[in-house]
Protein backbone atom coordinates (compact mmCIF):
# COMPACT_ATOMS: atom_id res chain seq x y z
CA UNK A 1 0.00 0.00 0.00
CA UNK A 2 2.83 2.38 0.85
CA UNK A 3 4.57 1.68 -2.42
CA UNK A 4 1.34 2.17 -4.35
CA UNK A 5 0.59 5.55 -2.71
CA UNK A 6 4.19 6.65 -3.29
CA UNK A 7 3.90 5.70 -6.96
CA UNK A 8 0.61 7.63 -7.28
CA UNK A 9 2.23 10.73 -5.82
CA UNK A 10 5.14 10.43 -8.25
CA UNK A 11 2.72 10.10 -11.17
CA UNK A 12 0.74 13.12 -10.00
CA UNK A 13 3.97 15.09 -9.61
CA UNK A 14 5.17 14.14 -13.08
CA UNK A 15 1.82 15.17 -14.60
CA UNK A 16 1.96 18.53 -12.83
CA UNK A 17 5.56 19.07 -13.97
CA UNK A 18 4.62 18.19 -17.55
CA UNK A 19 1.73 20.67 -17.55
CA UNK A 20 3.63 23.35 -15.65
CA UNK A 21 6.55 23.24 -18.11
CA UNK A 22 4.16 23.92 -21.01
CA UNK A 23 1.52 26.09 -19.33
CA UNK A 24 2.81 27.38 -15.99
CA UNK A 25 -0.59 28.07 -14.44
CA UNK A 26 0.23 26.41 -11.11
CA UNK A 27 3.55 28.23 -10.87
CA UNK A 28 1.85 31.53 -11.73
CA UNK A 29 -0.88 31.08 -9.13
CA UNK A 30 1.64 30.07 -6.47
CA UNK A 31 3.90 33.05 -7.17
CA UNK A 32 1.29 35.71 -7.75
CA UNK A 33 -1.33 34.72 -5.18
CA UNK A 34 -0.26 32.13 -2.66
CA UNK A 35 3.22 33.57 -2.02
CA UNK A 36 2.46 37.18 -2.96
CA UNK A 37 3.79 39.43 -0.13
CA UNK A 38 1.23 41.61 1.63
CA UNK A 39 1.92 44.23 4.33
CA UNK A 40 1.18 42.96 7.82
CA UNK A 41 -0.79 46.12 8.66
CA UNK A 42 -3.27 45.76 5.75
CA UNK A 43 -6.75 46.25 7.23
CA UNK A 44 -10.17 44.97 6.15
CA UNK A 45 -10.29 47.82 3.63
CA UNK A 46 -7.83 45.75 1.62
CA UNK A 47 -10.52 43.07 1.16
CA UNK A 48 -12.83 45.35 -0.86
CA UNK A 49 -11.02 44.35 -4.05
CA UNK A 50 -11.94 40.70 -3.45
CA UNK A 51 -15.56 41.72 -2.80
CA UNK A 52 -15.64 43.62 -6.11
CA UNK A 53 -14.19 40.65 -7.98
CA UNK A 54 -16.76 38.28 -6.50
CA UNK A 55 -19.75 40.49 -7.27
CA UNK A 56 -18.41 41.14 -10.80
CA UNK A 57 -18.57 37.42 -11.52
CA UNK A 58 -22.10 37.34 -10.08
CA UNK A 59 -23.13 40.30 -12.26
CA UNK A 60 -21.74 38.70 -15.42
CA UNK A 61 -23.48 35.36 -14.85
CA UNK A 62 -26.85 36.89 -13.95
CA UNK A 63 -26.51 39.46 -16.75
CA UNK A 64 -25.96 36.74 -19.36
CA UNK A 65 -29.22 35.02 -18.43
CA UNK A 66 -31.10 38.33 -18.40
CA UNK A 67 -29.66 39.33 -21.80
CA UNK A 68 -30.87 36.03 -23.32
CA UNK A 69 -34.45 36.96 -22.42
CA UNK A 70 -34.37 40.73 -23.03
CA UNK A 71 -35.82 42.52 -26.06
CA UNK A 72 -34.12 45.88 -26.82
CA UNK A 73 -37.08 47.63 -28.43
CA UNK A 74 -39.54 50.22 -27.19
CA UNK A 75 -42.44 47.81 -27.77
CA UNK A 76 -40.78 44.81 -26.15
CA UNK A 77 -38.33 46.02 -23.47
CA UNK A 78 -40.73 46.51 -20.56
CA UNK A 79 -42.73 43.41 -21.48
CA UNK A 80 -39.56 41.29 -21.62
CA UNK A 81 -38.58 42.48 -18.12
CA UNK A 82 -42.03 41.49 -16.88
CA UNK A 83 -41.64 38.09 -18.57
CA UNK A 84 -38.23 37.59 -16.94
CA UNK A 85 -39.66 38.21 -13.50
CA UNK A 86 -42.83 36.15 -13.98
CA UNK A 87 -42.05 33.37 -16.46
CA UNK A 88 -38.31 32.68 -16.56
CA UNK A 89 -37.38 30.15 -13.84
CA UNK A 90 -35.91 32.13 -10.93
CA UNK A 91 -35.92 35.18 -13.19
CA UNK A 92 -37.11 37.44 -10.37
CA UNK A 93 -34.18 36.25 -8.26
CA UNK A 94 -31.63 36.84 -11.01
CA UNK A 95 -32.93 40.34 -11.71
CA UNK A 96 -33.01 41.23 -8.01
CA UNK A 97 -29.46 39.90 -7.70
CA UNK A 98 -28.36 41.95 -10.71
CA UNK A 99 -29.92 45.20 -9.47
CA UNK A 100 -28.74 44.85 -5.88
CA UNK A 101 -25.32 43.72 -7.07
CA UNK A 102 -24.96 46.79 -9.30
CA UNK A 103 -25.84 49.14 -6.44
CA UNK A 104 -23.51 47.49 -3.93
CA UNK A 105 -20.77 47.20 -6.54
CA UNK A 106 -20.75 50.99 -7.00
CA UNK A 107 -20.82 51.47 -3.24
CA UNK A 108 -17.83 49.16 -2.76
CA UNK A 109 -16.05 50.87 -5.66
CA UNK A 110 -16.46 54.27 -3.97
CA UNK A 111 -15.08 52.79 -0.74
CA UNK A 112 -12.13 51.32 -2.67
CA UNK A 113 -11.51 54.75 -4.23
CA UNK A 114 -11.62 56.48 -0.85
CA UNK A 115 -9.11 54.01 0.54
CA UNK A 116 -6.76 54.80 -2.34
CA UNK A 117 -7.10 58.55 -1.76
CA UNK A 118 -6.67 58.30 2.00
CA UNK A 119 -3.62 56.03 1.98
CA UNK A 120 -1.90 57.53 -1.07
CA UNK A 121 -2.23 54.45 -3.27
CA UNK A 122 -1.84 56.66 -6.36
CA UNK A 123 1.77 57.59 -5.62
CA UNK A 124 4.85 56.15 -7.31
CA UNK A 125 5.15 53.31 -8.31
CA UNK A 126 1.37 52.76 -8.42
CA UNK A 127 0.24 55.56 -10.75
CA UNK A 128 -0.83 53.11 -13.47
CA UNK A 129 -2.76 51.01 -10.94
CA UNK A 130 -4.63 54.17 -9.91
CA UNK A 131 -5.38 55.20 -13.51
CA UNK A 132 -6.65 51.72 -14.40
CA UNK A 133 -8.86 51.79 -11.30
CA UNK A 134 -10.35 55.11 -12.38
CA UNK A 135 -10.89 53.75 -15.89
CA UNK A 136 -12.83 50.93 -14.25
CA UNK A 137 -14.90 53.50 -12.35
CA UNK A 138 -15.81 55.35 -15.56
CA UNK A 139 -16.63 52.13 -17.41
CA UNK A 140 -18.75 50.90 -14.51
CA UNK A 141 -20.68 54.18 -14.33
CA UNK A 142 -21.43 54.07 -18.05
CA UNK A 143 -22.47 50.42 -17.79
CA UNK A 144 -24.69 51.17 -14.79
CA UNK A 145 -26.39 54.08 -16.58
CA UNK A 146 -27.03 51.94 -19.66
CA UNK A 147 -28.48 49.20 -17.45
CA UNK A 148 -30.71 51.77 -15.73
CA UNK A 149 -32.29 52.73 -19.07
CA UNK A 150 -32.82 49.19 -20.40
CA UNK A 151 -35.99 48.28 -18.39
CA UNK A 152 -37.73 51.19 -20.17
CA UNK A 153 -39.82 52.22 -17.20
CA UNK A 154 -40.77 55.79 -16.44
CA UNK A 155 -37.49 56.70 -14.71
CA UNK A 156 -35.49 54.87 -17.39
CA UNK A 157 -37.03 56.89 -20.21
CA UNK A 158 -36.69 60.26 -18.51
CA UNK A 159 -33.18 59.45 -17.34
CA UNK A 160 -32.17 58.93 -20.97
CA UNK A 161 -34.00 62.13 -21.92
CA UNK A 162 -32.12 64.19 -19.29
CA UNK A 163 -28.80 62.67 -20.39
CA UNK A 164 -29.58 63.62 -23.97
CA UNK A 165 -30.43 67.21 -23.01
CA UNK A 166 -27.21 67.47 -20.98
CA UNK A 167 -25.21 66.41 -24.03
CA UNK A 168 -27.16 68.91 -26.15
CA UNK A 169 -25.86 71.74 -23.95
CA UNK A 170 -22.29 71.24 -25.26
CA UNK A 171 -21.42 74.20 -27.50
CA UNK A 172 -21.29 73.55 -31.27
CA UNK A 173 -21.35 69.72 -31.19
CA UNK A 174 -24.11 69.37 -28.59
CA UNK A 175 -27.12 68.81 -30.88
CA UNK A 176 -25.15 66.34 -33.00
CA UNK A 177 -23.98 64.46 -29.90
CA UNK A 178 -27.54 64.25 -28.61
CA UNK A 179 -28.79 62.82 -31.92
CA UNK A 180 -26.02 60.22 -31.94
CA UNK A 181 -26.76 59.23 -28.35
CA UNK A 182 -30.53 59.02 -28.76
CA UNK A 183 -30.45 57.99 -32.44
CA UNK A 184 -33.04 60.65 -33.05
CA UNK A 185 -34.63 63.62 -31.36
CA UNK A 186 -35.99 61.65 -28.40
CA UNK A 187 -35.34 58.29 -26.68
CA UNK A 188 -36.54 55.36 -28.75
CA UNK A 189 -35.59 52.05 -30.36
CA UNK A 190 -32.17 53.34 -31.41
CA UNK A 191 -31.40 54.51 -27.87
CA UNK A 192 -32.26 51.12 -26.41
CA UNK A 193 -30.26 49.26 -29.04
CA UNK A 194 -27.17 51.45 -28.51
CA UNK A 195 -27.30 51.16 -24.73
CA UNK A 196 -27.96 47.41 -24.76
CA UNK A 197 -24.88 46.80 -26.92
CA UNK A 198 -22.85 49.21 -24.79
CA UNK A 199 -24.00 47.59 -21.54
CA UNK A 200 -23.24 44.07 -22.78
CA UNK A 201 -19.86 44.93 -24.35
CA UNK A 202 -18.55 47.05 -21.50
CA UNK A 203 -19.31 44.29 -18.99
CA UNK A 204 -16.67 42.07 -20.61
CA UNK A 205 -14.31 44.98 -21.24
CA UNK A 206 -14.43 45.64 -17.48
CA UNK A 207 -13.20 42.09 -16.85
CA UNK A 208 -10.19 42.74 -19.11
CA UNK A 209 -9.34 46.01 -17.35
CA UNK A 210 -9.74 44.32 -13.95
CA UNK A 211 -7.11 41.82 -15.11
CA UNK A 212 -4.75 44.69 -16.00
CA UNK A 213 -5.51 46.40 -12.68
CA UNK A 214 -4.70 43.25 -10.68
CA UNK A 215 -1.56 42.68 -12.77
CA UNK A 216 -0.47 46.25 -12.00
CA UNK A 217 -0.93 45.62 -8.27
CA UNK A 218 1.18 42.47 -8.46
CA UNK A 219 3.96 44.29 -10.31
CA UNK A 220 4.04 47.41 -8.11
CA UNK A 221 3.16 45.60 -4.88
CA UNK A 222 0.36 46.28 -2.44
CA UNK A 223 0.17 49.57 -0.59
CA UNK A 224 0.40 49.97 3.16
CA UNK A 225 -1.85 51.83 5.64
CA UNK A 226 1.23 53.35 7.26
CA UNK A 227 2.45 54.68 3.93
CA UNK A 228 5.82 52.93 4.33
CA UNK A 229 6.87 50.41 1.69
CA UNK A 230 6.93 47.05 3.52
CA UNK A 231 10.10 44.95 3.54
CA UNK A 232 10.34 41.19 4.05
CA UNK A 233 9.97 41.50 7.80
CA UNK A 234 6.89 43.66 7.40
CA UNK A 235 5.19 41.31 4.93
CA UNK A 236 3.24 38.07 5.05
CA UNK A 237 2.30 35.71 2.22
CA UNK A 238 -1.17 36.24 0.79
CA UNK A 239 -2.22 32.68 1.62
CA UNK A 240 -3.40 31.79 4.17
CA UNK A 241 -3.31 35.08 6.12
CA UNK A 242 -5.04 37.43 3.68
CA UNK A 243 -6.93 34.75 1.76
CA UNK A 244 -8.91 34.18 4.96
CA UNK A 245 -9.54 37.92 5.30
CA UNK A 246 -10.74 38.12 1.70
CA UNK A 247 -13.02 35.11 2.19
CA UNK A 248 -14.49 36.74 5.28
CA UNK A 249 -15.01 40.01 3.41
CA UNK A 250 -16.76 38.24 0.54
CA UNK A 251 -19.00 36.40 3.04
CA UNK A 252 -19.98 39.69 4.71
CA UNK A 253 -20.69 41.21 1.30
CA UNK A 254 -22.88 38.20 0.40
CA UNK A 255 -24.87 38.66 3.63
CA UNK A 256 -25.40 42.36 2.89
CA UNK A 257 -26.42 41.58 -0.69
CA UNK A 258 -28.92 38.97 0.50
CA UNK A 259 -30.35 41.37 3.09
CA UNK A 260 -30.83 44.10 0.49
CA UNK A 261 -32.43 41.69 -1.99
CA UNK A 262 -34.93 40.13 0.40
CA UNK A 263 -35.43 42.63 3.24
CA UNK A 264 -34.73 46.10 1.81
CA UNK A 265 -35.41 45.95 -1.95
CA UNK A 266 -36.68 49.56 -1.97
CA UNK A 267 -33.09 50.71 -1.43
CA UNK A 268 -32.16 49.65 -4.98
CA UNK A 269 -35.49 50.01 -6.83
CA UNK A 270 -37.83 52.87 -7.69
CA UNK A 271 -41.57 52.36 -7.78
CA UNK A 272 -41.94 54.71 -10.78
CA UNK A 273 -39.79 52.38 -12.85
CA UNK A 274 -42.32 49.59 -12.44
CA UNK A 275 -44.58 51.54 -14.79
CA UNK A 276 -43.91 51.46 -18.56
CA UNK A 277 -42.30 54.54 -20.10
CA UNK A 278 -44.74 57.29 -21.04
CA UNK A 279 -43.22 60.19 -23.03
CA UNK A 280 -46.39 62.24 -22.42
CA UNK A 281 -46.21 62.12 -18.62
CA UNK A 282 -43.21 63.62 -16.86
CA UNK A 283 -42.61 62.25 -13.31
CA UNK A 284 -42.76 64.87 -10.56
CA UNK A 285 -39.34 63.87 -9.17
CA UNK A 286 -36.76 62.69 -11.68
CA UNK A 287 -33.56 61.54 -10.03
CA UNK A 288 -30.91 58.93 -10.84
CA UNK A 289 -29.77 56.02 -8.71
CA UNK A 290 -28.10 56.95 -5.42
CA UNK A 291 -24.59 56.41 -6.75
CA UNK A 292 -25.09 59.14 -9.37
CA UNK A 293 -26.72 61.64 -6.99
CA UNK A 294 -23.52 63.57 -6.07
CA UNK A 295 -22.78 64.17 -9.76
CA UNK A 296 -26.44 64.97 -10.39
CA UNK A 297 -26.14 67.50 -7.55
CA UNK A 298 -23.17 69.15 -9.29
CA UNK A 299 -25.15 69.20 -12.52
CA UNK A 300 -27.90 71.14 -10.75
CA UNK A 301 -25.62 73.36 -8.65
CA UNK A 302 -24.42 75.35 -11.68
CA UNK A 303 -27.07 77.75 -13.04
CA UNK A 304 -26.52 76.77 -16.69
CA UNK A 305 -26.56 73.23 -18.13
CA UNK A 306 -23.15 73.16 -19.78
CA UNK A 307 -21.47 74.46 -16.62
CA UNK A 308 -23.15 71.73 -14.61
CA UNK A 309 -22.05 69.12 -17.16
CA UNK A 310 -18.45 70.38 -16.97
CA UNK A 311 -18.53 70.25 -13.15
CA UNK A 312 -19.96 66.70 -12.99
CA UNK A 313 -17.56 65.36 -15.62
CA UNK A 314 -14.68 67.34 -14.12
CA UNK A 315 -15.33 65.72 -10.73
CA UNK A 316 -14.17 62.43 -12.25
CA UNK A 317 -11.49 63.88 -14.54
CA UNK A 318 -9.72 65.60 -11.62
CA UNK A 319 -9.20 62.19 -10.00
CA UNK A 320 -6.98 61.20 -12.93
CA UNK A 321 -4.71 64.15 -12.10
CA UNK A 322 -4.27 63.31 -8.41
CA UNK A 323 -0.84 61.56 -8.79
CA UNK A 324 0.53 64.82 -10.23
CA UNK A 325 -1.39 67.18 -7.95
CA UNK A 326 -0.13 65.44 -4.81
CA UNK A 327 3.66 65.20 -5.12
CA UNK A 328 4.41 64.95 -1.41
CA UNK A 329 6.86 62.21 -0.33
CA UNK A 330 4.45 61.37 2.52
CA UNK A 331 1.87 58.80 1.42
CA UNK A 332 -0.70 58.05 4.07
CA UNK A 333 -3.13 60.62 5.49
CA UNK A 334 -2.33 59.10 8.89
CA UNK A 335 0.86 61.19 8.86
CA UNK A 336 -0.77 64.22 7.18
CA UNK A 337 -3.12 66.07 9.57
CA UNK A 338 -4.25 68.69 7.03
CA UNK A 339 -4.98 66.07 4.37
CA UNK A 340 -6.79 63.92 6.93
CA UNK A 341 -9.05 66.85 7.88
CA UNK A 342 -9.61 67.76 4.25
CA UNK A 343 -10.48 64.14 3.40
CA UNK A 344 -13.12 64.10 6.13
CA UNK A 345 -14.61 67.30 4.72
CA UNK A 346 -14.39 65.85 1.19
CA UNK A 347 -16.50 62.84 2.21
CA UNK A 348 -18.97 65.19 3.92
CA UNK A 349 -19.14 67.32 0.75
CA UNK A 350 -19.74 64.22 -1.41
CA UNK A 351 -22.57 63.07 0.84
CA UNK A 352 -24.02 66.60 0.96
CA UNK A 353 -23.99 66.73 -2.85
CA UNK A 354 -25.93 63.48 -2.97
CA UNK A 355 -28.54 64.80 -0.53
CA UNK A 356 -28.76 68.09 -2.40
CA UNK A 357 -29.22 66.24 -5.69
CA UNK A 358 -32.00 64.17 -4.12
CA UNK A 359 -33.77 67.37 -3.02
CA UNK A 360 -33.35 68.97 -6.47
CA UNK A 361 -31.42 71.97 -5.14
CA UNK A 362 -34.41 73.68 -3.55
CA UNK A 363 -34.03 76.35 -0.86
CA UNK A 364 -31.07 75.82 1.42
CA UNK A 365 -30.02 72.70 -0.48
CA UNK A 366 -28.94 74.92 -3.37
CA UNK A 367 -26.46 76.74 -1.12
CA UNK A 368 -25.26 73.46 0.40
CA UNK A 369 -24.82 71.93 -3.07
CA UNK A 370 -22.81 74.88 -4.37
CA UNK A 371 -20.59 75.03 -1.28
CA UNK A 372 -19.99 71.27 -1.49
CA UNK A 373 -19.13 71.54 -5.19
CA UNK A 374 -16.63 74.31 -4.51
CA UNK A 375 -14.96 72.37 -1.69
CA UNK A 376 -14.76 69.19 -3.76
CA UNK A 377 -12.59 70.92 -6.35
CA UNK A 378 -10.84 73.01 -3.67
CA UNK A 379 -9.54 69.81 -2.04
CA UNK A 380 -7.95 68.49 -5.22
CA UNK A 381 -6.83 71.71 -6.93
CA UNK A 382 -5.74 73.76 -3.89
CA UNK A 383 -5.28 71.66 -0.74
CA UNK A 384 -3.32 68.78 -2.30
CA UNK A 385 -0.78 70.96 -4.20
CA UNK A 386 -0.36 73.40 -1.27
CA UNK A 387 0.20 70.69 1.35
CA UNK A 388 2.52 68.82 -1.04
CA UNK A 389 4.80 71.85 -1.46
CA UNK A 390 4.81 72.43 2.30
CA UNK A 391 5.69 68.78 3.05
CA UNK A 392 8.40 68.67 0.37
CA UNK A 393 9.98 71.73 1.90
CA UNK A 394 9.92 70.18 5.39
CA UNK A 395 11.44 66.92 4.15
CA UNK A 396 14.07 68.84 2.18
CA UNK A 397 15.09 70.89 5.26
CA UNK A 398 15.25 67.74 7.38
CA UNK A 399 17.56 66.02 4.92
Q: Determine which one of 289, 328, 332, 379 is catalytic.
A: 289
Is 281 one of the annotated active-site residues of the chain?
no
194 is in an annotated binding site: no
How many whole angstroms separate alpha carbon 108 and alpha carbon 161? 28
Contact 219, 192 (CB under 8 A): no
Q: Determine which one of 161, 178, 246, 326 is catalytic.
A: 246
Q: Determine which one of 165, 218, 305, 360 is catalytic.
A: 218
Burial class (CB in 10 A: 0-12, 13-18, 19+), 282: exposed
Is 222 one of the annotated active-site residues of the chain?
yes
Long-range pairs of 155-158 with CB within 8 A, sequence gap ≥ 24: 155/270, 155/272, 155/273, 155/283, 155/286, 156/273, 156/277, 157/187, 157/277, 157/278, 157/279, 158/277, 158/282, 158/283, 158/286
How many whole angstroms separate alpha carbon 282 and alpha carbon 279? 7
Q: Determine which one of 96, 103, 156, 222 is catalytic.
A: 222
How many whole angstroms separate alpha carbon 41 and alpha carbon 278? 54
218 is in an annotated binding site: yes
359 is in an annotated binding site: no
Is 226 one of the annotated active-site residues of the chain?
no
Contact 34, 44 (CB under 8 A): no
Is 245 one of the annotated active-site residues of the chain?
yes
Contact 253, 104 (CB under 8 A): yes
Q: Determine which one of 103, 121, 245, 359 is catalytic.
A: 245
Is 359 one of the annotated active-site residues of the chain?
no
Secondary structure of residue 239 in the 3-state scheme = helix
360 is in an annotated binding site: no
Binding residues for a ubiquinone: 218
Binding residues: 98, 112, 199, 213, 218
Binding residues for heme b: 98, 112, 199, 213
| Residues designated as active site | 218, 222, 245-246, 289
Amino acid sequence: MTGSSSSDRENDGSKQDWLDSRLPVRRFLTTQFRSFPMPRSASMLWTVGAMLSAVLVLMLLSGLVLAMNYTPTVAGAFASIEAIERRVPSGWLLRSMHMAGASLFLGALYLHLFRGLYYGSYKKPRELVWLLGLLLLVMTMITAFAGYVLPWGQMSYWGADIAGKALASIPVIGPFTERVFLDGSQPGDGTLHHLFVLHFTLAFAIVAVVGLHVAGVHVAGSGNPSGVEPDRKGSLPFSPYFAIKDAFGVAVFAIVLTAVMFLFPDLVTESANYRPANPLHTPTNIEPEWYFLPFFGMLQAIPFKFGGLVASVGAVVVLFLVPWLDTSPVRSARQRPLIRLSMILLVAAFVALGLAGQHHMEGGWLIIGRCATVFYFFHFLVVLPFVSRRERAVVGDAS
